Amino acid sequence: MIGEKASSGSPSDKNYAQFLLLVYSIVTTIACGIWIGYQFYWYGQCAEGITNMIVLVVFVIFFYITALVKLCDVDVFRQNSNIFTVSLVTSYMSYLVWTAMASHPDPTCNPFTLNSGNTIA
């Protein structure tokens, strides 16, 4: 009975949920773009930082291309790939690159080496 009630939501509830997922995806995408820009600014002084950022940007572009190809009804990738999944993966990858660069001991690559906030990651 509970399962029947949960699956029989009104169309407006479904549209509202889709709207919330879309808004969350757009906000996350914008925030990750800003965060990647700051990472380029902070850690771009050395070759390792530039390499990590370029790899991150290439993967992010690939993820968004796969999500946008899905919107064009091209079934090349998984059936359940969507922009929400891409935004989650992008935010997680941005976090992983930031923690890798924040842990770098070289002060030329990491301007926050002696900062106490660097130990949060």
The 10s digit of each residue's pLDDT in 58-104 is 888 887 777 777 667 666 666 666 778 888 888 888 888 888 887 77
Domain extents in the chain = 32-119
Q: Is 11 helix (H, G, I), strand (E, B) or coil?
A: helix
Mind listing the pLDDT tens digit for each residue in 13-61? 888 888 898 899 889 888 988 888 888 888 877 777 788 778 888 888 8
Write the burial class of residue 107 (CB in 10 Å: 0-12 exposed, 13-18 middle, 19+ buried).
exposed
CB contact burial 13-47 (16+ within 10 A = b; e otherwise):
eeeeeeeeeeeebeebbeebeebbeebeebbeeee
Q: 112 and 42 in contact (C-beta within 8 Å)?
A: yes
